[in-house]
Amino acid sequence: MNQHKQKGIMRILEPVGRNLGLTLFAMFALFPLIWMVICAFKSDAQMYNTVFRFTPTLENFRAVLIGSDYFRAFFQNLLVAGGAVIVTVIAGVPCAYALARYNFRKKEDVAFQILSFKFAPEIMVILPIFLIFQKIGIYDTYLGLIWVYQLITMPLLIWVVRGYFEDISVEVEQAAQLDGYTWYEVFFKTLIPLIKPGLVASALLAFIFAWNSFTFPLILSGSKIQTITITALRYIASDTVHYGQVAVASTIAVLPEVIVALFIQKHLVRGLSFGAVKG
Amino acid sequence: MAQIELQGITKKFGDVTALSDIDLTVRDNEFFVLFGPAGAGKTTLLKTIAGAEFPEQGLVKIDGQIMNHTESKDRNVSMVFENYALYPNLSVYDNIASPMRSKLYKRDEDYIRQSVDKVTNMMKINHLLERKPSQLSNGQRQRVALGRCLVRNPNVFLMDEPLAHLDAKLRHFMRGELKEMQTSINSTTIYVTHDYMEAMSLADRIAVLNHGRIIQTGTAQEMYYTPRNEFVACLFGEPEINILEARRQVNGADVYLTLPGQSVKLLPAEDTAAALREAETDNIHIGMRGNDISFAFEKNGDDWIEGSVYANEPIGNKVIMTVKVGDIKIAVTCPNDTAADMDQTVYIKFNMVNAIYFHGETQEFIIRNNMSRYTKDQQEG
């Protein structure tokens, strides 16, 4: 009888506990974002002496969006990050295919080499790259940034997509060729749909990494190209820090990532877990 | 509708030789079966013909044309893969329609619908057309793969164990359908299997493969009655043929054989005696099928050998009794009402007329009774 009662209590406590845990985690994860949005509406005067009760103001938005070249930085960032992802997809998918399908000498070494680009801290390689970029004249250009972003975006995509290619049996390709399709038709009509979840998920992650990249554009871009991460820094002046404006810049910078992620949420979870199992 | 010729095909995967010096001609409109144990190279041979694998040496000819450098799509062959190789993103209907939608073998949608209907009705999968391969059982997937192969009208059908995953009843039915279809549309078919009944019932001719080599090529009759060596003999027939190690005794003009530890003289059939006398070894292996052995529970004469019942397995239409004679076990096919106790004494007698003789050391075929009857086809061919 007593045991029965205990079981009944457990049945109530379990979902309560689970939801409580999830709520705590959600607060932990989301609170910085909420805090950022709140800060965006505070004036500099109220920044330090109020918590939740303050007079909302749009002054920060006006200063950032109208008073500075924030939108230029936004679109330049979009261009650089988007360009980097496009290059990664175009070059990385065939590379992943080759690593999955063909046998050549030192194959695993090549694959590991590609992955190892992610090991080195950016700050360690940035100085030599800076010197090289100045020498060959691609400092502060789109080409230079897109190129160097491949270090961030390419390894991830290659490794995820390679796992997907390895999961597709060679016979499927052979069957499609026997059905009368050329290799390119097989690749685009049969293989691409099969790797799509992995491709979409890894491309999105690559985009986020490129979008948020700070070290590379800090050193390798100057006055012509300004990414959003560098622009946000400008509101931290030497005498005062305009936290409100930093908050506005960051809030708007997060928007594209959130929107894209919500759209392809379905692919995201499946895409990253699916290929990784066998990869 | 084409003749397939393979000349000196050698294929290696790294250090492993998958095929070694294969010479093979599959005639126009022939139903040809590749038969052998797992890892013999059957699938590799099919893929070589399909153009999915390229041989290191040798020529692949289809209708006299050398195909070594022709891409598989231009060879006009149709294949069932052992692991089905269905397109996971397409429905059953689209999978089967796929070969008729490529630029090369383009057909209009009406024609496609009719063809798909026809094969799916035959395969009994017409209720599954909208499903994806992941929602099918293995047997159903295999039938979809077979359907995708059969909707076309290619030079040659290549089938890699297409019935292996079907249940027994359906397999039997499909075997009949395949045979019927093959005769009605006059197609060349190369069919891989490791089921000897499938091989014997379907094949016009069979090639037995082992370790990447062709051991023997011939009709099912030839395989069964005049196997080239003990390996081939053991592949065909259930229960497996008994290989008895015997000693040859020559006594003037007479030749007879004895089993170790037994005094019974086994007298070979008259037309085999000469060849046995000429064999360069005294160590002769006798191949004896279970249904050529008589058994009795009483000793009926001096030429009966005593043994004990080791196992007695009823398998429906017959009983397979394993008799232990000395150290050797002999499988005997008995009528299906045979009852026997373990270790019961039993007497067996060999019907030496149907014995097949092998060289004791090389295990090569020496002779059997009435050779000309079983090899008639070969002489004509």
Q: Tell me the per-residue pLDDT of B43-87, one tens digit each, with 9 for 90 and over.
A: 999 999 999 999 999 999 999 999 999 988 899 999 999 989 999
Rounded distance between C-alpha atoms, residue B354 and residue B293, angstroms: 10
Q: Does B94 have pLDDT greater than 90?
A: yes
> In a mutagenesis test of the A interface, which of B82, B98, B148, B161 is the best target, namely the one with the most A β-carbons within 10 Å?
B98
Closest listed residue to residue B285, CA positions, set B227, B334, B333: B227
Residue A192 contacts B, CB cutoff 8 Å: no
In this prediction the ipTM stands at 0.84
CB contact under 8 A, A175 and B83: no
Closest Cα in chain B, distance from residue A195 (Å):
10
Average pLDDT over residues B349-357: 91
Q: Does B92 have pLDDT greater than 80?
A: yes
Closest Cα in chain A, distance from residue B52 (Å):
6
Average pLDDT over residues B197-226: 92
CA distances from A109 to A93, A99, B123, B226, B302 (A): 18, 11, 48, 54, 75
Residues of chain A with pLDDT > 70, as a percent, come to: 95
Residue A181 contacts B, CB cutoff 8 Å: yes
Residue B71 contacts A, CB cutoff 8 Å: yes
Residue A185 contacts B, CB cutoff 8 Å: yes
- CB-closest option in B51, B88, B102 to A180: B102
CB contact under 8 A, A174 and B77: no
Lowest-confidence region among A176-180, B288-292, B369-373 = B369-373
- Between helix A243-263 and helix A2-40 the angle, nearest 10°, is 120
Dihedrals φ, ψ of A119, to 5°? Answer: -75, -45
Model pLDDT, residue A277: 39
Average pLDDT over residues A114-131: 87
Model pLDDT, residue A122: 84
Q: Does A151 have pLDDT greater than 60?
A: yes
Average pLDDT over residues B104-117: 92
- CB-closest option in B51, B52, B73 to A181: B73
Rounded distance between C-alpha atoms, residue A229 and residue B139, angstroms: 57
Find chain A residues with C-beta within 8 A of B71's C-beta.
177
Question: B253 pLDDT band (50/70/90 cuts)?
Answer: confident
Residue B102 contacts A, CB cutoff 8 Å: yes
Question: A279 pLDDT band (50/70/90 cuts)?
Answer: very low
Residue A175 contacts B, CB cutoff 8 Å: yes
- CB-closest option in B85, B98, B105 to A169: B85
Closest Cα in chain A, distance from residue B116 (Å):
15
Rounded distance between C-alpha atoms, residue A162 and residue A278, angstroms: 10
CB contact under 8 A, A174 and B71: no
Lowest-confidence region among A225-234, B281-290, B362-371 = A225-234
Domains and CATH numbers, chain A: 2-59 (no CATH), 67-271 (1.10.3720.10)
Q: Does A274 have pLDDT greater than 70?
A: no
Residue A177 contacts B, CB cutoff 8 Å: yes
Could you report the per-residue pLDDT of A233-263, keeping only the tens digit for each?
877 776 778 888 888 888 888 888 888 888 8
Residue B88 contacts A, CB cutoff 8 Å: yes
- The tokens for A264 are 């392809």
Write out the E strands in chain B.
4-13, 16-26, 31-35, 57-62, 65-66, 77-80, 156-160, 188-193, 205-210, 213-218, 242-251, 254-258, 283-288, 293-296, 305-314, 319-325, 328-334, 345-350, 356-359, 365-368
Sort strands B77-80 and B242-251 into parallel, antiparallel or unpaired.
Answer: unpaired
- CB-closest option in B87, B99, B104 to A172: B87
CB contact under 8 A, A174 and B104: no
Model pLDDT, residue B380: 42
Residues of chain B with pLDDT > 70, as a percent, come to: 98
Nearest residue on chain A to B71, alpha-carbon basis? A177
Find chain A residues with C-beta within 8 A of B89's C-beta.
190, 193-194
Average pLDDT over residues A136-149: 91
Find chain B residues with C-beta within 8 A of A179's C-beta.
73, 98-99, 102, 105, 148
Closest Cα in chain B, distance from residue A95 (Å):
22
- CB-closest option in B79, B87, B103 to A178: B79
Residue B77 contacts A, CB cutoff 8 Å: yes
Residue B78 contacts A, CB cutoff 8 Å: yes
Lowest-confidence region among A83-92, A137-146, B251-260 = B251-260
- CB-closest option in A171, A181, A194 to B89: A194
Find chain B residues with C-beta within 8 A of A176's C-beta.
87, 98
Find chain A residues with C-beta within 8 A of B86's C-beta.
172, 175
Nearest residue on chain A to B50, alpha-carbon basis? A178
B321, β-bridge pairs: B312, B332
Alpha-carbon Rg of chain A, whole angstroms? 24
B57, β-bridge pairs: B10
Find chain B residues with C-beta within 8 A of A171's C-beta.
52, 81, 83-85
Model pLDDT, residue A229: 85
Q: Does B33 have pLDDT greater than 90?
A: yes
Find chain A residues with C-beta within 8 A of B52's C-beta.
170-171, 174, 177-178
Average pLDDT of the residues of chain B: 89
Average pLDDT over residues A97-124: 89
Could you report the per-residue pLDDT of B128-168, keeping only the tens digit for each?
999 999 899 888 999 999 999 999 888 899 999 999 888 88
Model pLDDT, residue A275: 43
Q: Does A43 have pLDDT greater than 80?
A: yes
Nearest residue on chain B to A182, alpha-carbon basis? B73
Q: Does B1 have pLDDT greater than 80?
A: no
Residue A182 contacts B, CB cutoff 8 Å: yes
- Between helix A192-212 and helix A142-167 the angle, nearest 10°, is 140
Find chain A residues with C-beta within 8 A of B73's C-beta.
177-182
Rounded distance between C-alpha atoms, residue B151 and residue A155, angstroms: 43
Could you report the per-residue pLDDT of B329-351, keeping only the tens digit for each?
999 999 988 888 889 999 999 99
